[in-house]
Structure 1
Amino acid sequence: MIIFFGLEFINSGCVSSPGPDQNGGPGRPRFVAVTSLEDVQAVRCAEFHPNGRLYAVGSNSKTLRICSYPKLMDLSIIEWVNCPNCSREDHVTHQPTVLFKRTMHHKGSIYCLAWTPMGDLLATGSNDKTVKLMKFNADTSNLEGQEVELMMHDGTVRDLCFLEDTSNKSSLLISGGAGDCKIYVTDCATGTPFQALSGHSGPVLTLYNWGGAMFVSGSNDKTVRFWDLRTRGCVNVLTPTTSSGSRGSSVASVCVDPSGRLLVTGHEDSSCALYDIRGGRSVQCFRPHSSDVRSIRFSPSAYYLLTGGYDNKLVLTDLQGDLTLPLPSVVVAQHQDKVISGRWHPTEFSFLSSSADKTATLWALPPI
């Protein structure tokens, strides 16, 4: 347990004390760059495998990589902690161990990727208008068998997520993007798209599933749509009120807390909006960034929100208090160029970020 902003900061993976800040007040979490994967072009997406031992990275260079998640205790992050005369910038950032690499994985940039909850399937989407669905063996860290190429989209595939079809005990792949702005549902067992969901009038920029048959989508048309595959359609439409007023702003990122109660949306006007799903009401709008908010994710405990923006920053926001009051936020990491995505490790208090600065970086709190 560590303290910042006078609040408890729960860390399930490692325990650290952030120490006082330069003004003598409460400290802030001192995340450091543990590993950094360098590419020749912007890195658009990075996602942890559900077992937490691996992560996949896709970039504009059309390259797909699968890297191992390091044992933090083995790295020189510890040397930095044990060096009383070292500054935060003195620690060594390592190159990650790449377990699998495929160049020209797509004919275009890899915009998005996703794992099934079991981690046995990996899907990637691209501006070549295709989705690739692959079987994955976590023991060998390798793709297996023949990949399935899905060609139903007629524009860039911007996001993907998986749902579990409990009635058929199979996985369903949800994909959305530009072109016809439809969201497609694919049966992973057969590799067959069987449903096209219409409703958005602009490119679908973001998708999120929090378990069950429900998922949510955000679009350039400034709306958020809730979908329930049991009813085969949209069950609710929102136009979040943002800092630019009632006209709203393009929804670049969405997520829902594990309980299914709170929706958070990130917008191109640099704002985030909180929405009480069960109460059907807006909670508040806040601005953790000074530019587009491209990524939003709850921490594993759902106590904190990690946002990434085109202002090059990753920001941590505390959600443990009264959500109608101003929310404490702090910049916890920064890239040299736009942050495109940020993803929490499934169990440890560390996160991955991908950026237009051509890197995918793993950040963690150093143990003491």
Structure 2
Amino acid sequence: MTEAPTRREPAPVRHFTRITDITLAALTLVFFVAVALATEVQNPWRGPIPLGLFLGALLLVRRRWPMTVLLLSIGGIAVYHLTGHWSPPGWIWPAAVAYFTAATTPLVRWVAAIGLAQLAYSAVDARWVLDRNPARYLIHVAGEGLLLAILVAAGLTYAAAMRLRERLRETGRRAHAAEERLRVSHEVHDIIAHTLAVVGVQLNVAADALEEKDPAVSAAALRLAKNVRNRAMTDLRSLVTVLRDDPAGTAPQADLASLDTLIADTRAAGLEVTLDEHGDRAAVPAVTAVAVHRVVQESLANTLRHAGASRAEVTIGYRPRSVTVEITDNGRGAPGGADVTEGHGLTGMRERVNALGGALTAGPVPGGFAVRADIPVAGSTA
């Protein structure tokens, strides 16, 4: 029979349990001393007070060695009784705490066995009551048996509740990790889509320049493609870290401060882009800023890949309780005004905005195509 391993609790919980155990130990000693003085026990320092000290000290380590504390508590009470002392009225309290604590461990069968052995000893020890008052004897034995059953059941219930709480915590951690991985998959898609769009345009420029025997233009296009690729690889390395078990060390995500670089890359790819901002971008919290950046990034990538546009306008309005993002271009919309078929990019944008309580619309407008997102500011009551 070995002690059950104890799980390390957070510091505030450990401090509370330590204070609780010290309080129980102090109350045990005070109770034994009070009973000894009230009943005018002769030489209390040779009887109940040492027993109170012993049982109180055991309560201080009951969580670390629950079965050892139970055995020593019951053994100490038995030795005290066998040496000719009457059982002090307060012994049931520390013994009950020891039974409950031990019953919360996987060694509950041993706890029941110890309890049954003590119950049998108590029944034999009180046999003199049987001849004088059978009803009192029955109540005595049945009461101790009922108390033992209640203590074991309470310990089992408490242990089951703690296991359930831990499972719920683990389920919550796994759900959060799954949500984080889904978010990261959207981030990866946005980065790759934008990078491939810009790099693809620059490679076409480089190829055309080579055919026209203009190496300077070709070299400039290839350098820009390389720079965009390098920035994308840095972002991807930081995001892939989140997909591992330990997300520590993850680099900051793209935010509003990266919009200027994003716009510059898109302009270099041949798309004339204007950025019009209203309000204070510094007041936007990080989670909203990331969503704004990704909406602009994916929209411009779609414009480069599919729209055949030459011009795009990005308008962002920062308000205290929401951010409005609108990207319009002069490219071709769906043929004949048909409904837009959403790909992974548009679906990812919509899911990202919806997750923050916002709304996203996308579709043809006179003269081109428009994407609009209304995103509440995290923490606002709007």
Q: TM-score, length-normalised on structure 2?
A: 0.23
Larger radius of gyration between Structure 1 and Structure 2: 2
Structure with higher strand content: 1
With CA pairs under 8 Å and 6+ residues apart, which has the higher RCO, 1 or 2?
1
